[in-house]
Chains A and B, each alone.
Chain A
Amino acid sequence: MLQYLVNGLSLGAIYALFSLGLSISWAGLNILNLAHGTVFMVGALTAWLLSEQLPGVPFLLVLVIAMVICGLIGLAMELVVFRQIRRRTSDGNQQTLTTVIATVATSSLLIAIAEQFTGGQPQGLSQDLFVVSGYTVFGIRITNIQIAIIVIAAVLSFAVAWFIKRGRQGQALRALSVDRDMAKLVGVSADRLSALTMFGAGAMAGLAGVLLAVQINAVEAHMGEALLFKAFAIIIIAGVGSIGATVAAAVALALVETFVAAYWVSDLRDVVVFALIILFLLVRPQGISSKGWQRA
């Protein structure tokens, strides 16, 4: 029982790290980034490549490099794709749709590049990158990477929530999500803030990618896809852009999945998850948190 609680918590922490960036770019910039899962995979891939090419490279350095690379991918998507789309179309719906399609294209491109590195095969991570050791406390098994994941996710969630609620740029981002032109009129550099947001969202996805890669000891070009759908479920349940609710929904979803898999039929976990999404869409389409950025 407690064992599954720990398993669920560490899974929820990965979900939270992954979902936050997706939720923020969706809420703040109206970018539904279907390449978020792929950016996550690039984080994992970077860790694998670095540990293969530079045996003995410190884990922290790998973490930072992966975050920077994934942040830069987010940044590049903003500069090369999203910004150009915004310039060329003033129609909001058209922008949203074109942006989504562009993220799908970016995702395919990144996966194709990744497959060049992996040879289309799953790759195991070097055991030296991060020595995983397990502890048994009161009969519950927990590994150091699980502890690290839970702690990092908790700290980052609080930091992001604070940033969005109180931070000067966080408030500007919320203003941007409500009314982009008005935000410019009060002096917010929409372009710079969009770039910053995409960098941050990418870096967080990359961080989650490295952590999960270490936990499962495997890297594979399609590893982000399943997570993307889970993140949609979480954001739909939580409400777009609400940080606290997103973290809560991430942990709740992970616990539901874990307990369904543990005590019921294990392959029904996804069925339960997607049934929950449909239920929420029908009953409460705005999510748990009614204080979404777009609504009063």
Chain B
Amino acid sequence: MSAIEITGLNVHYGKVHAVRDVDLYVDQGEVVVVVGPNGAGKSSLLAALSGLVPPSSGRVVMSGTDITGRPAHRIARLGLVQVPEGRRIFAPLTIDENLKLGAYTVKDRARVKELRGTVLEMFPILADRIDSPAGLLSGGEQQMLAFGRALMSDPHTMLLDEPSMGLSPALVDRVIEAIRQISESGLSILMVEQNASAAFGVANRAYILDQGEISLEGPVGEVAADPRVLAAFLGVTEED
């Protein structure tokens, strides 16, 4: 049973057809990357998965449960967590409060404490500044907090939207390292990225999304070797 299985997904924003007939799956424990240029429909795809935008047609099944069109907070309670583009940490709240909110769906207090321990161990910088407002963290630290907040929900599947965006190369490496760590703890991960070279380093399989449609898919090695991908995504480094 796949962690996520999408069939025939379409998303419209008014008259804009952002996602067209997308079929995609993520197996248990896999890291899957969706690569595409700006405006290819990557964020719309994630928004439809996490319930922020209702799909116009198609099916989203998560670990055997059909979650198509369910509201975001209900999907979050089923163990699907999203780390959105631009981190979107709760800036005025403290790091501690951000983490507590991450665990909003977890009822078991002992489990929350356990998760908090794991997260602070994985990202020690957060422990050092636990009571300061999250907005005072640097960009890289905020990304760590966004991961930490996501992990606090005790998820089985994590959606990552452009995790390397706006970060220096050294920090991108740190982020990729964090994704690897998270994956090794057993989570299934679906990430969308413009920065293909960074993403390919950590993923098992890749999809190329172009103008809302999947144009290529397969194991990372094959996709990365495709001449079109080499030209379009690996020849240039995009930072924004």
Query: Which of A3-11, A39-47, A182-190 lies at the binding interface?
Result: A182-190
Find A188's partner among B84, B104, B149 (CB 8 Å cutoff): B104
Of the four ranges (under 10, 10 to 19, 20 to 34, 35 or more), the interface on chain B belongs to: 20 to 34
**How many interface contacts (CB-CB < 8 Å) are there between A and B?**
73
Q: Check A186–B52 contact: CB distance below 8 A.
A: no
Shortest Cβ distance from residue A37 to the other chain B in the assembled complex, whole angstroms: 28
Q: Mark B78-110, 1 if CB is under 8 A from A, else 0.
A: 000110100010111100010011101100000
Q: Check B92–A186 contact: CB distance below 8 A.
A: no
A291 at the interface (CB under 8 A from B): yes
Give CA–CA (A279, B198) in the complex, Å. Answer: 53
Give CA–CA (A293, B90) in the complex, Å. Answer: 10
Query: Which of A71-79, A170-178, A258-266 lies at the binding interface?
Result: A170-178
Shortest Cβ distance from residue A198 to the other chain B in the assembled complex, whole angstroms: 18
A88 at the interface (CB under 8 A from B): no
Enumerate A248-296 residues with CB–CB distance to B below 8 Å.
Answer: 291-296
B153 at the interface (CB under 8 A from A): yes
Find B84's partner among A171, A178, A185, A296 (CB 8 Å cutoff): A185
Known contacts A171-B101, A172-B101, A182 near B88 by CB under 8 Å:
yes
Q: Check B81–A185 contact: CB distance below 8 A.
A: yes
A52 at the interface (CB under 8 A from B): no
**Residue of B with least CB distance to A178:** B90
Find B135's partner among A168, A292, A296 (CB 8 Å cutoff): A296
Q: Check A181–B52 contact: CB distance below 8 A.
A: yes
Q: Check B90–A182 contact: CB distance below 8 A.
A: yes
Chain B residues within 8 Å of A184, by CB: 51-52, 71-73, 76
Chain B residues within 8 Å of A128, by CB: none
**Residue of B with least CB distance to A185:** B82
Q: Check B72–A181 contact: CB distance below 8 A.
A: yes
B228 at the interface (CB under 8 A from A): no
Q: Check B73–A188 contact: CB distance below 8 A.
A: yes
Known contacts A171-B93, A175-B93, A293-B92, A185 near B76 by CB under 8 Å:
yes
**Residue of B with least CB distance to A296:** B135
Q: Check B81–A178 contact: CB distance below 8 A.
A: no
Shortest Cβ distance from residue A76 to the other chain B in the assembled complex, whole angstroms: 21
B188 at the interface (CB under 8 A from A): no
B136 at the interface (CB under 8 A from A): yes
Residues in A lying within 8 Å of B, measured CB to CB: 168, 171-172, 174-175, 178-179, 181-190, 291-296
Q: Offer 6 A-B interface pairs, CB within 8 angstroms, sorted by A.
A: A171-B101, A178-B92, A181-B52, A182-B88, A186-B102, A295-B92
Beyond A182-B84, A186-B81, A189-B73, list 10 extra A-B contacts (CB 8 Å): A168-B104, A174-B93, A186-B104, A186-B149, A186-B153, A187-B77, A291-B92, A294-B92, A296-B134, A296-B136
